Structure 1
């Protein structure tokens, strides 16, 4: 589990609840099912209308990444590239062919297969850069689903507030219903703003950062394969590729 994400949610929502308690409020005053239903259903509906089915599925799948700590495999990929470069320099590009099947990263496998097959460097770059950036666009579309939810939620919360006030105005003579109507009005706004700024937007931002890291790793792999094709020294390749992942260079 990603401790930062979990701890952030606990501190964020916990701070609101505790602050309400300090001011003399009760947690029950923030538990309004009607307000939650309006904000949740309204936001979900708006997101579904504005997003494609594929983006929705991608966004839901990526949400799990925001709550998981995944160990980066960049260092292992870098070691594979350096070892392949050393072998190619010592023997030949063709000597990499038996080793390709033992490499764990599919992208590096495909790049090296093209290198061994003698495909020209500009062609390899064009093929895989297109693939990498297309995949990035699809994943970022999934992250945008959460960003969109963060944009819609506060407005839906305002709609909930207006509905609550309409209910209050329609029952001015029945004082027993005034409190419930006003509560829904204000709590719906709290839900909309809180969900947007403590959940939806942060998740979208974290997913976007993870996608950017994944893309940078893929570009590192592609660049490494192309440098092997050019016959670059393995030490030069290692120095160049570490610039893609500064955190790896400190291991």
Structure 2
């Protein structure tokens, strides 16, 4: 669980909610027509911009990326592939057959190696898999950035609708209040959706995509070295470039006697 995302989301909602409750009740800020304009309009614009399958996939990916921290630490991956390299030097490539990994990309890499495919084919397959993963993250990020752009704009449209209604009913004081509520609250709803939900999720997807791409490139580099029979110590030293200098302590194994 990526607890910081949940804390940030709840803190943002709590702060806005407390500000609303300072001099009014939450019902004061509930306007169903205005909410329908923003939600319905934003959803419609999103469907115009993207395929339905892309929108559904984006929400699934966002939930996983934002609330479930599945990205492995590079230091853990380096230690794991270092152990794989030592197994291969002792038992050959088939020694990896019984290795169980929690990382799906590494698991696929091991299976390709064990199946006896040439290094060029293994590298090509892994690069294609990495590219497809990056494209999925990119589409999901663009979906949420699109929502972040559309929601405030639809909110402004709702504001214009409310102002027109208000100007057309100036002779009826009882209708001015509801029209003004739509005019103001639609802007609030649009800004809330964009700034507290859509844009933060887009940034989180971008961050997770970068982390995932780094880990996959680390694994690809590792597999290439393992299939060449590279010394585990040398390979670990090469892979340490994927890690911040402060975290490299203890990565390099002792020299083999």
Normalised to the residue count of structure 2, the TM-score between the two structures is 0.84
Alpha-carbon distance, 1:47 to partner = 0.7
Matched, 1:157 2:160: no
Moved over 6 A (4+): none
2:42 aligned partner: 43
Sort the Cα spacing of 1:176 and 1:118 in 2 relative to 1 into closer, same or farther, 3 A: closer
Q: Deviations over 1:173-193 (max 9, x none)?
A: 110110111011001001101
Matched, 1:100 2:97: yes
2:165 aligned partner: 167
Name the SS of the counterpart of 2:214 in structure 1.
Answer: helix
Q: Give the number of aligned pairs.
A: 246
Q: Which runs of no fewer than 5 residues in structure 1 stay unpaired? A: none
Alpha-carbon distance, 1:112 to partner = 4.2
1:200 aligned partner: 198
**Within-5 A mapping of 1:104-183:** 104=101, 105-112=103-110, 114-115=112-113, 117=116, 119-121=118-120, 123-183=121-181
Question: In 1, distance between residues paired with 2:104 and 2:17?
Answer: 47
Q: Which runs of no fewer than 5 residues in structure 2 stay unpaired? A: 251-257
Question: In 2, distance between residues paired with 1:39 and 1:149?
Answer: 11
Normalised to the residue count of structure 1, the TM-score between the two structures is 0.86
Q: Deviations over 1:55-113 (max 9, x none)?
A: 1121111121244242544455433311121133345xxx2214234232443344345
**RMSD in angstroms over aligned alpha carbons?**
2.5
Contact 2:134–2:209 (8 Å) recurs in 1: yes
Question: In 2, distance between residues paired with 1:141 and 1:100?
Answer: 35
Question: In 2, distance between residues paired with 1:31 and 1:19?
Answer: 14
Contact 1:160–1:185 (8 Å) recurs in 2: yes
Alpha-carbon distance, 1:10 to partner = 2.7
2:232 aligned partner: 234
